[in-house]
Structure 1
Amino acid sequence: MGVMRIGHVNLKVMDMDAALRHYERVLGLKETHRDADGNVYLKCWDEWDKYSLILTPSDSAGIRHVAYKVERDADLDELKARIEAYGTPAEMLPEGSMPAIGRLLKFNLPSGHEMRLYAHKEFVGTDVGSLNPDPWPDDVRGSAAHWLDHVLLMCEFDPERGVNRVEDNTRFMKTCLDFYLSEQLMVGPGHKLPVATWLFRSSTPHDIAFVGGPRNGLHHIAFFLDDWSDVLKSADVMAKNKVKIDVAPTRHGITRGTTIYFFDPSGNRNETFAGLGYLAQPDRPVTTWTEDEIGRAIFYHSGELNEAFTTVYT
């Protein structure tokens, strides 16, 4: 019962044509739908639901909502009751409120980020099919991202005022949605204050993460690649397309994943993330990183944290 995996992210973009060139040419997504409001829907080649990314025309960048898929439609009613009992308002949107999707449970995290849950989305299949499939399609473009992997949300963090939306969101996700904590970064006296957390419902190190900052927002959305060589190829693709690279290819200490960070034309940070890192299981001990090792935790190779990495976001 309950949440299975990430379903889609809805991003705001300021130039739709430029955004589409980026997500199609650089990451390899394909457009699957457009609606009357100008929203464009895309999917990766290895995803079977109709879309995982929605681009919305806007005067600013950032995230509108993130959605996760649950196992059964009845789960939505059970989770709505649990969320409301926690003290958080929740609204059930009828089937058809979004294209190709069933009922939606809509609510806000303690940080204010909008989240939606759903059970049904139109099935279109992967680009290689499900019967005797090839390992990859011949017409894949750019970085050839397999699927939308996770999202990292920035949450207001001000210990002097007693504000820690990282801790609030983490408690909500564990209590209401049965997410498990895989890793945490602790700061302050005795390393007792969580400033960043990574949580999962599938078998990857994280399906969502929260990091403390001066305001709520979006840090990045991540797309999965197979391995380190694909991360390097992804960097080549970005260089060829003159994409603004934020962090060159490296490894995380947290999650053990290999990574490259870059920006779409509106300034939304993307990541191509490779490697399983480890098998996340409910009984796996939580990995804890302390403030004195924050450099290695984020960027294992250099051991140094670029301040802009946690202060520049949409």
Structure 2
Amino acid sequence: MGVMRIGHAKLRVMDMNAALKHYQDVLGLKETMRDSNGDVYLKCWDEWDKYSLILTSADQAGLDHVAYKVEHEEDLEALRQRIEAYGIETRMLPEGTLPATGRMLEFKLPSGHVMRLYAYKEQVGTEVGSLNPDPWPDDVKGSAVHWLDHCLLMCELDPEKGINRVAENTQFMKTCLDFYLSEQVMVGPGNSIQAAAWLFRSTTPHDIAFVGGPTNGLHHIAFYLDDWADVLKSADVMGKNRVKIDVAPTRHGITRGTTIYFFDPSGNRNETFAGLGYLAQPDRPVTTWTEEDLGRGIFFHSGEINEAFTTVYT
């Protein structure tokens, strides 16, 4: 029962043609359809559902909503009751609100981010199929990312005003959606303030993460790659395409993943994230990072945090 994995993210972009070139040629996604509003739907080669990324034209970049797939249709009503009992309003969007997708349960996280849950999306298969498949397709472009892996949301954090949307989101995800906490950052007097949290429902270190900042927003969406060699190739692809790189290839202490951070043409931060890090299980002890070693937690090699990494987001 309940949430299985991230399903899709809908991003606002200011130049659709530039965005499509980025997500298709640099990351390797393929367009699967367009709707009457001009929104474009794309998928990665190793995904079987019809799309995992929706691009919509807007005057300002950022996240419209993030959606997670649940296992059964009846889970939607059960989760709706749980969320409303928690004190958060919901609305059930009818089938067809998004193309090729069943009804969706929509609500706002305590931080104000819009989240949707759904049980059905049309399956079109991976690029290598399900019968005697090759390990990878021949015609994939760019970094050849496998799937949309996770998102990290910036959440308002102001201890002096008693505001901590990170902790509020974390508690909501655990209580209402049965997410588990894998890692956290604790700061302040006696390490009493939860400044960041990584949570999972699958077996990866995180399916969603929250980090404190001055305002709510989108820090990044991440796409999965196999290993460190793929991360380096991804950097080469970005160099060839003059992509604005935020953080060059490195390793996280948190999650143990290898990574590159970069921006799409509208300024939405992307990540190519490689390696499963560790096997996330409900009984795994929570890993805690404290303020004095936070640099190594975020960027293990240098141990230094680029200020723009936590202050620049959409």
Spell out the pairing of 1:106-255 with structure 2 (5 A cutoff): 106-255=106-255
Superposed displacement of residue 303, structure 1: 0.3
Superposed displacement of residue 19, structure 1: 0.1
Measured in 1, the distance between the counterparts of 2:277 and 2:192 equals 26
Measured in 2, the distance between the counterparts of 1:305 and 1:296 equals 8
Measured in 2, the distance between the counterparts of 1:248 and 1:175 equals 36
Q: Does 1:256 align with 2:256?
A: yes
Measured in 1, the distance between the counterparts of 2:294 and 2:198 equals 14
Superposed displacement of residue 301, structure 1: 0.1
Measured in 1, the distance between the counterparts of 2:185 and 2:276 equals 20
**Partner residue of 1:98?**
98
Measured in 2, the distance between the counterparts of 1:46 and 1:71 equals 19
Measured in 2, the distance between the counterparts of 1:96 and 1:309 equals 37
For each residue in 1:234-285, what CA deviation from the matched residue of structure 2 results, as whole angstroms up to 9, or x when unmatched?
Answer: 0000000000000000000000000000000000000000001000000000
Measured in 2, the distance between the counterparts of 1:97 and 1:22 equals 27
Q: Does 1:66 align with 2:85?
A: no
**Partner residue of 1:77?**
77
**Partner residue of 2:283?**
283
Code of the aligned partner of 1:240: K
For each residue in 1:48-70, what CA deviation from the matched residue of structure 2 results, as whole angstroms up to 9, or x when unmatched?
Answer: 00000000000010000000000
Q: Does 1:4 align with 2:7?
A: no
Code of the aligned partner of 1:144: A
- Please list every run of 5 or more consecutive structure 1 residues that lacks an aligned counterpart in the other structure: none
Q: Does 1:303 align with 2:287?
A: no
Superposed displacement of residue 134, structure 1: 0.2
**Partner residue of 1:25?**
25
Code of the aligned partner of 1:151: C
Code of the aligned partner of 2:50: K
Measured in 1, the distance between the counterparts of 2:93 and 2:57 equals 22
Code of the aligned partner of 1:194: Q
Code of the aligned partner of 2:265: P
- Please list every run of 5 or more consecutive structure 2 residues that lacks an aligned counterpart in the other structure: none
Measured in 2, the distance between the counterparts of 1:131 and 1:189 equals 57
Measured in 2, the distance between the counterparts of 1:194 and 1:23 equals 34
Aligned length: 314
Measured in 2, the distance between the counterparts of 1:201 and 1:138 equals 32
Measured in 1, the distance between the counterparts of 2:269 and 2:226 equals 20
Q: Does 1:42 align with 2:81?
A: no
Code of the aligned partner of 2:70: V
Code of the aligned partner of 1:100: A
Code of the aligned partner of 2:284: R
**Partner residue of 2:269?**
269
For each residue in 1:171-205, what CA deviation from the matched residue of structure 2 results, as whole angstroms up to 9, or x when unmatched?
Answer: 00000000000000000011111000000000000
After TM superposition, what 4+ stretches of structure 1 lie above 2 angstroms from structure 2?
Answer: none
When normalised by structure 1's length, the TM-score is: 1.00
Superposed displacement of residue 112, structure 1: 0.2
**Partner residue of 1:53?**
53
Code of the aligned partner of 1:94: P
Code of the aligned partner of 2:114: E
Measured in 2, the distance between the counterparts of 1:121 and 1:50 equals 7
Code of the aligned partner of 1:13: V
For the aligned residue pairs, the C-alpha RMSD in angstroms reads 0.3
Code of the aligned partner of 2:138: D
Code of the aligned partner of 1:186: M
1:302 alignment partner, SS class: coil
Q: Percent identity?
A: 79
Measured in 2, the distance between the counterparts of 1:215 and 1:89 equals 22
Code of the aligned partner of 2:228: W
